């Protein structure tokens, strides 16, 4: 596709999405659920063809020497497809948030005031080499009544185009507009730049990918973003912590999965309890292959720890490395978090209700826990059923974003002919 055709292509996708969003806004839950179940059935019946298209991407990825971890994400294995199918059916069965209303307040003049939940409108999803996001994002946006424009990574071009056809077949079978979910049919990166400035037609952009992608979109987008750049998450072990609980939470927060954005990257420990809990935590983590980097006080207790630098306090490792700092007070711990945190998820381990309340009240991150590991930062664990991502910005949705986070509220007022003045 020629460069000059990209603006016209993306503009057309935006126009079609806006038109489709007006239909989805009033679509019944039954229609949306039928479309999702039809998509699940299509994934089952078209499995061989879909995996054939996926094979084209895998062959190109191997030629380009894509890393094994990225190859794994790119592969539409039988297991991956079954997970996608199950996810579609699960979302189909979830309660529809659209049209629900808050409690009604009756004003002194008898006027009744409430708020109604409505779709955001048109959502652009920009993501990298994981074709399962095509299904997950389309399903969540459809269920919440939003039209979607999907722009996946060039590594998954054939897979995403095939999944887009399956999605549109499901929409057609349910009597909904096929343009309710559209896949950008080009690998040209100019399409991303065009999509993030399409303010006439796109209401929100949700990026899914590495820090570099999201930082670029945050700098260039004219459309509001639901995003988080990184997950520099902290666990603070208070002086009133239960030592056994502190050990288990710290180990789980770091080693549950290194690559998730809710993994603990810095451990803060109160001076009074550090000699009791830190050596045991360190022994367990070192045995699991975790490299420890600590402040001077930490290294006095853990000789095997390397020196922590200023960069370590700022880093989301996404790997088997942990920074450790010993602090004198809970205020010092909260000051450290305020300075270095990415605003994702923080936790305190304590048996003191005052300390717990203070921490949850004053730590300004999207999720703040008491006596839980940070790796619980996941929409499924929160009871959202599924999530489209985690937001650390200060729009209407903060933390894991599920169906309700893909909607907004409008005021609805009812009267009996009241006049003002």
Task: Give residue-wise pLDDT tens across range 235-244.
Answer: 999 999 999 9
Residues 248, 131 share a domain: no
User: Which residue, 178, 202, 227, sits at the end of a domain?
Assistant: 227
Where residue 71 sits, what CATH number does that domain have? 3.40.605.10
Distances (CA, A) of 342 to 32, 358, 366, 391: 36, 20, 10, 11
Q: Domain check: are 21 and 161 in the same one?
A: yes
In a domain, 401, yes or no: no
* Mean pLDDT of all residues in 15-32: 97
Kindly state whether residues 216 and 278 are assigned to the same domain.
Answer: no
Same domain, 320 and 209: no
Domain boundary among 194, 227, 260: 227
Query: Does 386 reside within a domain?
Result: no
Same domain, yes or no, for 161 and 251?
no
CA separation for the pair 46, 59 (Å, rounded): 20
pLDDT of amino acid 375: 95
* Total structural domains within the chain: 2
Whole-number pLDDT of residue 260 = 83
Burial of 391 from C-beta contacts in 10 A (0-12 / 13-18 / 19+):
buried
pLDDT of residue 304: 96
Residue 4 scores a pLDDT above 70:
no
Is residue 417 one of the residues assigned to a domain?
A: no
pLDDT at 1 over 60: no
DSSP line for 251-281: HHHHHS-TTSTTSEEEEEEETTTHHHHHHHH
pLDDT in tens, 263-277: 999 999 999 999 999
For residue 10, pLDDT over 90 is answered with yes
Q: Is the pLDDT of residue 2 over 70?
A: no
- Band (392; pLDDT cuts 50, 70, 90): confident
Q: Could you tell me if 367 and 242 lie in one domain?
A: yes
Does residue 402 belong to any structural domain of this protein? Answer: no
Closest among 214, 158, 211, 200 to 183, alpha carbons compared = 158
Q: Is residue 248 part of a domain?
A: yes
Q: Given pLDDT bands bounded at 50, 70 and 90, which one contains residue 379?
A: confident
In a domain, 408, yes or no: no
Angle among Cα 55, 60, 63 to the nearest 5 degrees reads 125
Same structural domain for residues 208 and 237? no
CB 332 within 8 A of CB 359: no
Residues 40-52, mean pLDDT to the nearest whole number: 96
If asked whether residues 210 and 344 sit together in one domain, one would say no
Helix then strand count (H, E) for the chain reads: 15, 16
pLDDT for residue 57 is more than 70? yes
One domain for residues 263 and 325:
yes
Higher-confidence residue: 234 or 70?
A: 234
Considering only CA atoms, which of 381, 365, 391 is closest in space to residue 252?
Answer: 381
pLDDT in the model for residue 183: 96
Same domain? 15 vs 69: yes
| pLDDT for residue 3 is more than 80 | no
Helix (H) or strand (E) run with residue 67 in it: none
Q: Domain range spanning residue 294?
A: 233-376
Residue 398 located in a structural domain? no
* pTM confidence score: 0.84
pLDDT in tens, 103-159: 999 999 999 999 999 999 999 999 887 898 899 999 999 999 999 999 999 999 999
pLDDT at position 205, please? 94
List 117's β-bridge partners, or say none: 409
Which pairing describes strands 112-119 and 105-106: parallel, antiparallel, or unpaired? antiparallel
Determine contact, residues 274/301, Cβ cutoff 8 Å: yes
Asked if pLDDT for residue 219 goes beyond 80, the answer is yes
Q: How much is the pLDDT for 70?
A: 80
CATH of the domain at 246: 3.40.309.10
Say if residue 254 is in the same domain as residue 329.
Answer: yes
Reply yes or no on whether the pLDDT at 378 is more than 80: yes
What would the mean pLDDT of 49-74 be, rounded to a whole number? Answer: 91
Share of the chain above pLDDT 90, in %: 81
Q: Which residues pair with 112 in a beta bridge?
A: 106, 414
| 8 Å CB contact between 200 and 176 | no
| Average pLDDT of every residue of the chain | 94
- Residue 257: CB atoms within 10 A of its CB come to 10
Which class for 173: exposed (0-12), middle (13-18), buried (19 or more C-beta within 10 A)?
A: middle
Same-domain status, 199 and 242: no
Joined together, the tokens standing for residue 316 give 């989301």
Residues in the chain: 421
370 falls within a domain = yes
Q: How many CB atoms lie within 10 A of CB 113?
A: 15
- Domain end residue (candidates: 178, 205, 227): 227
Beta-carbon neighbour count of residue 322 at 10 Å? 27
In the predicted structure, residue 301 carries a pLDDT above the cut 80: yes
Query: What's the whole-number mean pLDDT along residues 96-107?
Result: 96
């Amino acid at each position: 596709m020629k460069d000059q055709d990209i603006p016209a292509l993306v503009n057309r996708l935006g126009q079609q999405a806006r038109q489709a969003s007006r239909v989805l806004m009033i679509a019944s839950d039954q229609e949306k659920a039928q479309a999702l179940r039809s998509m699940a059935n299509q994934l089952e019946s078209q499995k061989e063809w879909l995996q054939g298209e996926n094979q084209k991407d895998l062959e190109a990825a191997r030629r380009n020497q894509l890393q094994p971890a990225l190859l794994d994400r790119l592969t539409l294995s039988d297991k991956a497809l079954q997970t996608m199918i199950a996810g579609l059916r699960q979302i189909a069965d979830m309660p529809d948030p659209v049209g629900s209303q808050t409690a009604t307040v009756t004003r002194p003049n008898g006027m009744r005031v409430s708020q109604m939940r409505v779709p955001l409108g048109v959502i652009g999803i920009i993501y990298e080499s994981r074709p399962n996001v095509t299904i997950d994002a389309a399903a969540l946006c459809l269920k919440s009544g939003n039209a979607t424009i999907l722009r996946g990574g060039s590594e998954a071009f054939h897979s995403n185009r095939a999944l887009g056809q399956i999605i549109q077949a499901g929409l057609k079978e349910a009597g909904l507009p096929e343009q309710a979910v559209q896949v950008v049919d080009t690998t040209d990166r100019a399409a991303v730049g065009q999509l993030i400035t399409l303010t006439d037609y796109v209401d929100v952009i949700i990026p899914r990918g590495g820090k570099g992608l999201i930082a670029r979109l945050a700098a260039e987008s004219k459309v509001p973003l639901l995003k988080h750049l990184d997950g520099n998450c902290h666990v603070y072990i208070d002086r009133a912590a239960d030592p056994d609980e502190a050990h288990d939470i710290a180990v789980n927060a770091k080693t549950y999965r290194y690559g998730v954005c809710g993994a603990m990257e810095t451990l803060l420990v109160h001076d009074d309890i550090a000699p009791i809990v830190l050596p045991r935590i360190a022994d367990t983590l070192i045995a699991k292959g975790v490299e420890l980097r600590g402040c001077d006080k930490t290294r006095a207790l853990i000789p095997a720890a390397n020196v922590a630098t200023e960069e370590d306090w700022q880093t989301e490792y996404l790997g088997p490395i942990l920074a450790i700092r010993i602090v004198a007070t809970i205020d010092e711990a909260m000051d450290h978090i305020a300075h270095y945190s990415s605003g994702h998820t923080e936790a305190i381990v304590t048996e003191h209700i005052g300390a717990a309340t203070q921490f949850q009240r004053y730590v300004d991150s999207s999720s703040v826990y008491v006596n839980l590991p940070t790796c619980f930062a996941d929409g499924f664990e929160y009871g959202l059923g599924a999530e489209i991502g985690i937001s650390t910005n200060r729009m209407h949705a903060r933390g894991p974003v599920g169906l309700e986070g893909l909607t907004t509220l409008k005021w609805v007022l009812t009267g009996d002919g009241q006049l003002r003045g």
